[in-house]
Amino acid sequence: MKTAEIAQRYLDYFEKNGHVIVPSASLVTDDPALLFTVAGMVPFIPYLSGDVPAPYKRAADVQKCLRTLDIEEVGHTPRHGTFFQMLGNWSFGDYFKEGAIRFAWELLTTPDAEGGLGFDPKDLWVTVYEDDDEAHDLWLTLTNLPEERIQRLGKDTNYWSTGLPGPAGPCSEIFFDRGPAYGVDGGPATDDDRYVEIWNLVFMQYEITNVQSKYDFDIAGELPNKNIDTGMGLERVAFIKQGVDNMYETDQVRPVLDKAVELSGRTYGAVHEDDVRFRVVADHVRSSLMLLSDGVTPSNDGRGYILRRLMRRAIRSMRLLGVDGPTFKDLFAASRDAMKDAYPIVVEDYARIEQYALAEEATFLRTLAAGEVLLDDSVADAKATGRPTIGGPEAFLLHDTYGFPIDLTLEIAEEAGLTVDRAAFDELMLEQRTRAKADARARKRQLADTSVYRDLRAQGETIFTGFTDLETESSILGILVDGVSVDRATSGQIAEVILAETALYAESGGQVADKGVIVGPGFELEVLDVQRPVAGLISHTVEVTTGEVGVGQPATTVVDAVNRRAAQQAHSATHLVHAALRDTLGKTATQAGSLNRAGYLRFDFSWGQALSDSTKSEIEEIANNAVRDNLEVTTRVLALDEAKALGAQALFGEKYGEVVRMVDIGGPWSRELCGGTHVAASAQIGLINLVGESSVGASNRRVEALVGLDAFRSLAAERALVSQLTSTLKTPREQLPARIAELTASLKAAEKKIAAFEAKALGDRAPQLAGAATAVGNFRVVAENAGVAASGDDVRTLALQVRDRLGTDPAVVAIGAEVGGRPVVIVATNDAARSAGAKAGVLAKAAAGILGGGGGGRDDVAQGGGADASALTAALAGITAALEAV
């Protein structure tokens, strides 16, 4: 049974049993505590917690999930994957334990031919929470399971909570027994891989408080509405139903594994280490494909870092399988073809996905090449000094700074007959992880408790009137101060205010929040920010500037019309720039983030190279031609599928419901799903002035533009500057580039002559300095501050000239100078001095320490530097003192 068929049977069954089928949410979650959707319940958290009323009593879905907590287990066990799909059925105050158990058992044990999943009851085991007699008895009465196959387990496995105050409850898990060939007898309590958990039924029935840990808390009482949250692992069911040993061999994953086998020339099933690597490649390539399809791009932090890590682990595994060259073109295509039936987006958007994948692979292959050079130096140094080991800090530097995998470091070191101080490396890794976890915990502690909005959201959605009105009369529903609900706020306080209606736009979709005021009888509130803390609720952060505001009072929201108009200009201009980019560069140049505020727009898009001046001019001209043509701006509210069928761009990072708002500028030329505010016609934008284009990471570019009056003022300032230059240089405007180039060339020629003169003057001092050499211990020494020099090379030349004049006796020359405002010391030694123990690199490093910097080099000539030029005399004296001790 194919994976997609299992998913469809699941949805068909629950739809037949009165459940609303909900589309999968993105892997990128709105939850600020999470980077990704790590479990099927994440999109439903607002409904399960009661913060937002559920729009349905029963629901079912197939949710995309990504979890990297157990990434080191990938490939080693039959069930650990980073990307997985969770089948879930949900009840919000409707059916409870009996319904959940009955549905699960019926679907699992109904024969294939009758639309079920066809599991034999004799292969199924069940666990319940040790104190949950109700669930235990229901399993006995609703199924034909014998008592011995219903096991009671503790909180660590059979009790669900978030680890925070709120909803919690016991759970019941269903396991499939793979048979004696896979492990010991005894059921799930043995914690053996023989028993595969396929379905978890969470009975969310309690409110918990005084939470000390995930398993240490107090039960405050029962929830007013008991919920059901279930999750069945699609990949786990698939590998059982398809008769294979693990999830990597199922129909959605195996094609990538097979392609890796083909590219490597090795055999799957022959060597355990190779098998693990094949599975890692299959899993990580699929995960990367799905992350890219949801708009995540490789970067050095956050979600992008996780994606980059997955892709680089796949590249590393292919390398350990003997493939040094690029493989992603073939591997990603294989994954696309395996996943396209379940997720058509991977085909529709494949050109962009492939662009990012190939760029990241090329970058990392260059990183590996550079890392190997550094590692070769470490190997050579270890051998030269007789050390059998490469230090842990060196290996960590390669890993942390250069992205060079520790596995490759170990492999290359072993080939050279060396070992790596793995204990020191692991200690440094542990310190880094500890810091990261501490940062994550601190960030989690800083998150607002959204339960404070629960009662306010229960009163209904905040109605936004700002598409048509700049003023709206309403009433104060709630006031929060420091996250606590209060009855009133007084002059000088900062508070959050919730109203039934508002004309003020809440920040979203790249458009910043409106400015404005909220006024009422005897009070005035300055609006500092407007946000949506939970779905459907708009919160205004305000400063009470006059009087006192209380819950229940009438209030009028007043939008700053000038600021709103300028923000609308910028937002509409962003749509025009997006369309112009796609016209110029092609459909793969898709938006990857934006910021729109009054007079300014910033637009990120997927592209792998800098734009030429002519391309930037073309984009700017297309956008401004659209302004000139006064294109009509229209909005429509329609079904998401209908909007996509009309070609509307659904932008990455945005979340869309079943009904969406589509904004057209000039009909289909610019057609995007957008909840922001816009001008009525493109001429109202005024002017778009592209002022910047830069890189924001691999395969991502950013354009910046000024809009409307800000664009005009910028161009006016440039006009004034050009006018000043034409007057000062007495040159017509059209001849300015040539005149400035002429002056620049003359300046460079003059600087070159001056540098040559200064270098000659410095070199002329060599005889004098050599003649002034003094005896220090066994050495003839010149330690001189030469003053100001044009370059470090001039100082080096002088030091070498002086050394050459000192003959064959042991001689050390140290010349200091100030170069570009910073101190430089060059140390040169002759053969006799080095034989006597004077090493230029050691002496330069000592001098640099006094200068507040670093240095070193070869034994014959070396350089040191720092930040404190006033310490040059002391640094040179330090070299003399060091020679006295040799």
Full 3-state SS string of 635-660: EEEEEHHHHHHCCCECCCCCCCCCEE
Overall average pLDDT of the 17-42 stretch: 88
Measured from the Cβ of residue 634, the count of other Cβ atoms closer than 10 Å reads: 15
Q: Could you tell me which CATH number the domain at 3-243 has?
A: 3.30.930.10
Asked if pLDDT for residue 159 goes beyond 60, the answer is yes
Q: Is the CB of residue 678 less than 8 Å from the CB of residue 635?
A: yes
| Mean pLDDT value of segment 84-106 | 95
Q: What is the pLDDT of residue 655?
A: 62
pLDDT value of position 174: 96
Both tokens of residue 476? Answer: 């104060």
Q: Could you tell me if 582 and 509 are in contact, meaning their C-beta atoms sit under 8 angstroms apart?
A: no
Q: Which two tokens stand for residue 432?
A: 């880094």
Average pLDDT over residues 102-124: 95
Angle at 867 between CA 865 and CA 871, to 5 degrees: 80
Average of per-residue pLDDT across 576-582: 94
The residue-averaged pLDDT of 58-76 equals 89
Query: What span, in angstroms and rounded, lies between the C-alpha atoms of 401 and 611?
Result: 29
CATH topology for 765-884 is Diaminopimelate Epimerase; Chain A, domain 1 (3.10.310)
DSSP assignments along 211-253, one per residue? EEETTEEEEEEEEEEEEEEEEEEHHHHHHHHTT-SSGGGSTTT
Query: Average model confidence (pLDDT) for the chain?
Result: 89
User: What local confidence, expressed as pLDDT, does residue 444 receive?
Assistant: 42
Of 217-221, 378-382, 668-672, where does mean pLDDT reach its minimum?
A: 378-382
pLDDT at 435 over 80: no
Q: Average pLDDT of 642-647?
A: 87
DSSP 121: G
- pLDDT tens for each residue of 703-720: 999 999 999 999 999 999
Percentage of residues in the chain having pLDDT higher than 70: 97
Q: Do 707 and 599 contact (CB within 8 A), yes or no?
A: yes
Q: What interhelical angle do 736-763 and 709-729 show, nearest 10?
A: 60
Whole-angstrom distance, CA of residue 332 vs CA of residue 263: 13
Contact call for residues 187 and 222 (beta carbons, < 8 A): no
Domain boundaries along the sequence of the chain: 3-243, 252-362, 450-559, 564-716, 765-884
- The tens digit of pLDDT for each residue in 786-836 reads 888 888 888 899 899 999 989 889 999 999 999 888 999 999 999 999 999
Structure tokens at 878: 């330090």
pLDDT of 449 higher than 70: no
- Amino acid 233: pLDDT: 93
Both tokens of residue 678? 């816009």
Residue 584 pLDDT > 70, yes or no?
yes
Whose tokens are 């040159």? That residue is 731
Tokens 């609303």 sit on residue: 20
Q: Which pLDDT value is given to residue 244?
A: 92
Q: Return the minimum-mean-pLDDT range out of 162-176, 345-359, 646-660.
A: 646-660
- Return the ∠ at Cα 425 (arms to 419 and 431), rounded to 5°: 170
CATH class of residue range 450-559: mainly beta
Q: Report the C-alpha dihedral over residues 104, 106, 110, 114, rounded to 10 degrees.
A: -110
Closest alpha carbon to 676 in 599, 775, 567: 567
pLDDT for residue 641: 84
| Dist CA 690 CA 706 (whole Å) | 7
For residues 253-279, give the mean pLDDT.
Answer: 95
Structure tokens at 772: 């002034």
pTM of the model: 0.70
pLDDT at 729: 92
Q: Which option is the CATH number for 564-716: 3.30.70.20, 3.40.50.300, 3.30.980.10, 3.20.20.120?
A: 3.30.980.10
CA-to-CA distance for 861 and 796, rounded, in angstroms?
A: 9
- What tokens were used for 750? 């003059």
In the chain the first and final C-alpha atoms are separated, in Å, by: 80
pLDDT for the residue 756: 80
Residues facing 121 on adjacent strands: none
Rg of the chain on CA atoms, in Å: 35
Per-residue confidence band for 438, with pLDDT thresholds at 50, 70 and 90: low
Tell me the residue length of the chain. Answer: 886
Beta bridge partners of 519: 524, 556
- Which amino acid, residue 658? E
| Residues 473-482, mean pLDDT to the nearest whole number | 93
For 215-260, what is each residue's pLDDT tens digit?
788 888 888 789 999 999 999 999 999 999 889 999 999 999 999 9
State mean pLDDT over 564-582.
95
